[in-house]
Structure 1
Amino acid sequence: MTGTPERPAGRVRLTTAQALVRFLAGQFTERDGVRQRLIGATWGIFGHGNVAGIGQALVEYAEEMPFHQGRNEQAMVHAAVGYARQSGRLATHAVTTSIGPGATNLVTGAALATVNRLPVLLLPGDTFAARPADPVLQQLEVPYAGDVSVNDCLRPVSRYFDRVTRPEALIPAALTAMRVLTDPVETGAVTLALPQDVQAEAYDWPEEFFAERVWTVRRAAPDPRELAEAADLVRAARRPLIVAGGGVHHSAAEDALRALADATGIPVASTQAGKGALRFDHPADVGGIGHTGTAPANELARAADLVIGVGTRYTDFTTASGTLFEAPDVRFLNLNVAPFDGHKMAGATLIADARAGLEALTRELADHRVEPGFSLDYRGDKARWEQRVDAAFLADEPDVRPSQTQVLGALDEVVDDADIVINAAGSLPGDLHKLWRARSARQYHVEYGYSCMGYEIPAAIGVALAAPGRPVWALVGDGTYLMNPTELVTAVQEDIPVKVVILQNHGYASISGLSATVGGERFGTAYRFRAQDGTYTGAPLPVDLAANAASLGMRVIRAKTVRELREALREARGADRPTCVYVETETADTVSGPPPAQAWWDVPVAETATRVSAVEAREEYDRHVTARRRHL
């Protein structure tokens, strides 16, 4: 190409925003020889901080960068995260907002992405870099610093943050952003704050910047010495237990985990993020672990002399706040791609990609298997647990209002391997972790790293975009629904056939139950009118969530009984448009509720109080807390 005095050869003149959109359209990931686009689409809500920059660029390059219109900035991030998780962290979406409240609304979604180690690219507008208008509309004025904006709120919840104050600074910033998004160890929310004047500023960009780039997602192999030591630990263990975390799914290591379990007979418990790593009916699968786990898994955890954590962060629910792993001689072996997580619980480390590490460990243990009696015991416990699940799901009287667990039982009858079930907050995660029978690797999608109310509906949209043709269910309590129903409009607009199940139980049922056990007396958790004494103990609020969903364009099916619910769920599953099933549940699962918590969770209780409920709760707390230990 021949240059001109105005523009050197090999350069193309674009605005910063145009350059960024063109750059993003040319980014790809590759793992195991499979290549896919890294940034599948951009979500956006426009204001003065991005409409003339990123907004105009998305119009300019509409054929290269698909666009989705959002209703709430936080929800757009949730949709992108749902897409990323369903895509195995190999693809994600970008999210653009204006400056001010649009940008700060990203913070919760960014925290969720980073906590869960899921990639998402955030492109908030920012105040003028050149400061011709100062302060500009929605600008935060900080007396002690001229370079701070509300976008700085995103720093602690981003794995990488940069403010692009000159066009040419975009080149290193964008390349670093892609590196972090595609790094299994570093990934999370990535923020490029874009001053609105810089977005619209033209620059002569090197054409190489827009060439297609493929970011290889490596499968880090285990160190031979660590591998040999890991195998020795497994061989020496008499009561080993595998704890499968989300890293098993992110690495597509489900087959490798199954091969190890088949070869050795070691039982496999799962975290919320890891559930589905084995099918529920696999002989080695013992269900969820921790406070929301199953009796078989937690009994194995209490007696385990070796806990093999695969791709897990060991949260307090998983470890029952340091009280679950009781054996005096218990040791930990942690297979994790991230050294930060691999060294938790003072464990021996096997730092590697989950699939590569499991395959290597299986080869090292080719002639090893647990004692037959050990396998028979945990399989018998698992069979008895399944009977308890059947009892919780069963509805002897199909013409009565269902309990929450009976709602899950009705859904269990309807789904097959293709369905995907999404939840994040309330009492449902506990019931799902204990009871749900995961039939495929990607069926169980519970966001419990941040347990963010309002995640379910937008995440379902993102998942449906990543898995077209698969039935996607968002299970939503009334508390969550009231926080963030607006993306139902997006599902209707885009004709994305998500299935939303709204369970109306008139309040924050999960926290109500917790409040009752810690001396809070269910204060402030019910959705009811005030009684004469000023408490929220009057009649339930006359809120019609089904009518609300219908007003947003959803097709709504009301179900009053178990029988009607079964019919409604079957009808919704076959629907080719966004559909909502609304059911009012019993407020207390006294007849067919889930089995109680199988392990303790540390929620500190008032050390001194005059009310009997708090005094008794503190006595119970003190009894449990003495069992807490640090594994050293």
Structure 2
Amino acid sequence: MTLRLTVAQALVRFLANQYSERDGVEQRFFPGCFGIFGHGNVAGVAQALLEAHSTGIDLPYHLARNEQGMVHAAVGYARMRNRLQAMACTASIGPGSTNMLTGAALATTNRIPVLLLPSDVFATRVASPVLQELEDPRTYDVSVNDPFRPLSRFFDRIWRPEQLPSALLGAMRVLTDPAETGAVTIALPQDVQAEAHDWPDELFAKRVWHIGRPVPEPAALARAVEIIRSAQRPLLVAGGGVHYSEATEALRHFAEATGIPVADTQAGKGALLWDHPQAVGGVGSTGSPVANALARDADVVIGVGTRYSDFTTASRTAFQAPDVRFVNLNVAAFDAAKHAGEMLVADARVGLEALTAALEGHSVADTGYAAHREEWNRVVDEAVHLGHGPLPAQTEVLGALNEEMHATDVVVQAAGSMPGDLQMLWRARDAKQYHVEYAYSCMGYEIAGALGIKMAAPDREVFALVGDGSYLMMAQELVTAVSEGIKLNLVIVQNHGFASIGSLSESLGSQRFGTAYRYRNPDTGLLDGGRLPVDLAANAESLGADVIRVRTIGEFRDAIARSRASERTTAIHIETDPLAPVPSSESWWDVPVSEVAQLESTRQARKSYEASKAAQRPLLGPLIGRNER
């Protein structure tokens, strides 16, 4: 039997019948589709979604306001659902589709599944060049969608209807593969979208994609256990893979059974709750001095579900023991092989359970980090109750929010100075409370990501933390939240520029150049005049949000309660001092400084840079047996 449908209609019908299953729990893989329609998809995918709704095919459509924003929302949704569900995103030809490129990069960098459906040029070329078509004089088969290729884990373009089934199956294979997932792109020429074809019934049958839990290879497990048993100063680094595999309990059992302290990455925060006696905080450039002190001395580092970004390794200066070895438990061999580690390629939960069983009876000696941990908690308490004035410090805002939020609430952040402050200071009381996108650290993710998170977890209160830089990058999805009746809590921290880059600029000898929102000064010719009269609260109100303006931390606490009690999207606006102090992570991040300069500030920064860079390690294996010179 066959059905005569357009390519777009067949696509929608297929997506509506895809399911995922893990541990016996089955759910629809695509709970909906974000989209913005234009001449590339209004007669194709748009018509198909409308027809699906009218004929009872369940693939809800959500109108977004920015194509990049809708991909961010899809990423927030999929991450909150531990990658067991994903959203599709459709856009019109040309700029509508290329606006999704940043979202594709973010999804793939973060290893989060999202299906992108960019519209494309005419396959027939009958009217070429069409509006918004890129003409490449070397070939006629390149379009503006080709940049999606390196940004996607799977890419295909449907030149003919017959190509659709294999492309869809290939897309689902990657979307549901924990080791390979990321952005998946199926480019849809606008004429092909509307072209009819006879499709086999089996294409639209319910299809369940089983997401397995790969077990560790016995010999690899034995090698990993031998290394861990030999360790005198082991440290476990928990990454996002712990969350995605729902391995938080397995991690806790492992830590308690072995006595090994647990540090975390930005994506792994909350894998072991902050008040657990073996939780030592974030590791790396914006981590805690406790974790970083343990990292410097560790002779074995057990990485679980981490990709070892430069922030996690402090640009390869975090691990300084000459004989340090790595045991890497990761579902992706690509990450398990990093730092010449012992590769334990397996699901994080299954792998941790196997390690715990194999290490039965083994426990490491207390290295005395409890006192250091207690001292660091005192420093955090001081930072979040600083009493800074006349404007409050950002650390006080974060501390008050942390204390006023419920354990099951979610804080969302992505860029600027806040991710660093959050990793150092935030005390996660639930595995899903902390949601910081820091693999791509994309300004503008916060509000759009919060929208997707709230859609994925409607019973949780979601607080999007956004500085003025990120707010001005992308606030449009506030309109989507309002139109959908999806309640968000927004905290706008007004600091009149790019506070994070301002501080970084100063440390690199660039004197905060070009990092503040100012009028151009006719006397200097620079943007160092008076502050711009930008009213972010008024802007949020114009987009449909209720707004609460506060000046003090006491007022801010009251506003959090009011926002929580409201059924409408609410923005809290507070101004902070971008120069207020922040505790040190006692770590480093490699940002090159000009090797030659006329500015004395830059020359001094270069000296500091060279001193720090001397501690970088290639991390190619232990230096056992090295001839000392």
Q: Structure 2 residue aligned with 1:232, among 213, 226, 231?
A: 226
Per-residue CA deviations over 1:69-128 (Å, capped at 9, x if unaligned) read 011000000000000000000001000001100011010000000000000000011111
Find the counterpart in structure 1 of residue 130 from structure 2: 136
Q: Which residue of 2 aligns with 1:595?
A: 583
Amino acid at match of 2:397: V
1:354 maps onto 2:345 in alignment: no
Alignment check: 8 A CA contact 1:395 1:562 kept? no
Deviation at 1:412, TM superposition (A): 1.6
- Is 1:145 the counterpart of 2:162 in the alignment? no
Give 1:139's aligned amino acid: E
Greater CA drift, 145-154 or 400-409 = 400-409
Query: Using the alignment, how far apart are the partners of 2:416 and 2:69 within structure 1?
Result: 18
Q: Is the CA contact 1:528–1:538 (under 8 Å) kept in the aligned structure 2?
A: yes
Equivalent-residue separation in structure 1 for 2:529 and 2:129 (angstroms) = 49
The answer to whether the 8 A contact 1:129-1:195 is kept is yes
CA–CA separation in structure 2 for the residues paired with 1:140 and 1:396: 56
Query: How far has the Cα of 1:534 moved from its partner?
Result: 1.5
**1:74-89 residue pairs with structure 2 within 5 A?**
74-89=68-83
Matched, 1:33 2:24: yes
Give the direction of change, closer, same or farther, for the CA distance of 1:574–1:418 in structure 2 (3 Å limit): same
- 3-state secondary structure, aligned to 1:318: coil
Match of 2:103 among 106, 109, 119: 109
Say which SS state the counterpart of residue 39 (structure 1) adopts. coil
| 1:557 partnered with 2:545 | no
- Residue number in structure 2 paired with 1:619: 607
Change (3 A) 1:282 1:522: same
Tell me the secondary structure at the aligned position of residue 319 of structure 1. Answer: coil
Please state how far the C-alpha of 1:304 moved relative to its aligned partner. 0.2
| Residue 169 of structure 2 corresponds to residue 175 of structure 1 | yes
Query: 1:571 is matched with which residue?
Result: 562
- Any residues of structure 2 matched to 1:419-498 within 5 Å, and which? 419-498=409-488
Given candidates 372, 378, 381, the residue that maps to 2:372 is 381
CA distance in 1, matches of 2:119, 2:461: 35
Query: Residues of 2 paired with 1:599 and 1:627: CA distance?
Result: 11
C-alpha separation in 2, matches of 1:358 and 1:122 = 34
- From 506, 511, 515, the equivalent of 2:496 is 506
Q: Which segment drifts farther, 594-603 or 217-226? A: 594-603
The CA deviation string for residues 475-521 of structure 1, in whole angstroms up to 9 with x for no partner, is 00000000101111001101111101000000001001001111111
Measured in 2, the distance between the counterparts of 1:143 and 1:486 equals 37
Letter in 2 for 1:424: A
**1:291-322, CA deviations, whole angstroms, 9 ceiling, x for partnerless residues?**
00001000000000000000101111111111
| 1:172-571 paired onto structure 2 within 5 Å | 172-371=166-365, 373-374=366-367, 377-396=368-387, 400-531=390-521, 532-571=523-562
Counterpart CA distance in 1 for 2:329 and 2:104 is 26
Aligned-pair distance for 1:587?
2.3
TM-score of the aligned structures, taking structure 1 as reference length:
0.97
Per the alignment, do residues 224 and 120 of structure 1 end up closer, same or farther by CA in structure 2, a change over 3 Å counting?
same
Q: Is the 8 A contact 1:418 1:443 kept in 2?
A: yes
How many angstroms apart in 2 are the aligned matches of 1:396 and 1:18? Answer: 60
Q: Separation in 2 of the partners of 1:609 and 1:594?
A: 29
How many Å separate the matches in 2 of 1:29 and 1:326?
43
**Could you report, residue by residue, the CA deviation over 1:122-143 in whole angstroms, capped at 9, with x for unpaired residues?**
0011111011111111111110
Shift in Å, 1:400? 4.8
SS in 1 for 2:145: helix
1:58 aligns with 2:49: yes
Alpha-carbon distance between aligned partners in 1 of 2:586 and 2:307, rounded to the nearest angstrom: 20
Q: Counterpart of 1:387 in 2: which secondary structure?
A: helix
User: What secondary structure sits across from 2:31 in the alignment?
Assistant: strand
Q: Distance in 1 between matches of 2:310 and 2:414?
A: 16
Root-mean-square deviation over aligned CA pairs: 0.9
Distance apart, 1:395 and its partner CA: 4.5
- Determine if the alignment matches structure 1 residue 154 to structure 2 residue 139: no
Q: Contact conserved, 1:471 with 1:499, CA < 8 A, in 2? A: yes
Unmatched tracts of structure 1, length 5 or more: 1-9
d(CA) in 1 for partners of 2:307, 2:446: 22
Residue aligned with 2:89, SS: strand
Q: Distance in 2 between matches of 1:400 and 1:494?
A: 39
Letter of the 1:135 partner, please give it.
P
> Which sits farther off after the overlay, 534-543 or 384-393?
534-543
| Contact preservation (8 Å) 1:400, 1:560 | no
**How far apart are 1:576 and its partner, in Å?**
1.3
SS in 2 for 1:421: strand
Matched, 1:629 2:620: no
**Offset, 1:597:** 3.3
Structure 2: gaps spanning 5 or more residues: 621-629
Distance 1:412 1:292 in 2: 18
User: When the two structures are aligned, how many residues end up with a matched partner?
Assistant: 616
Q: 1: CA distance between counterparts of 2:598 and 2:121?
A: 52
Q: CA deviation at 1:170?
A: 0.3
Q: Equivalent residue of 1:276, what SS?
A: coil
User: What secondary structure does 1:320 align onto?
Assistant: coil
Q: Distance in 2 between matches of 1:530 and 1:127?
A: 43
Q: How far apart are 1:396 and its partner, in Å?
A: 3.9
Q: Do the aligned partners of 1:81 and 1:120 also contact (CA within 8 Å) in 2?
A: yes
Matched, 1:121 2:112: no
Distance 1:148 1:396 in 2: 58
CA distance in 2, matches of 1:556, 1:495: 16
Distance 1:413 1:395 in 2: 14
Q: What's the TM-score once normalised by structure 2's chain length? A: 0.97
Counterpart Cα distance in 1 of 2:603 and 2:390: 38
What is the match of residue 3 of structure 1? none
CA distance in 1, matches of 2:380, 2:565: 26
Kept in 2: contact 1:400–1:562 (CA 8 A): no
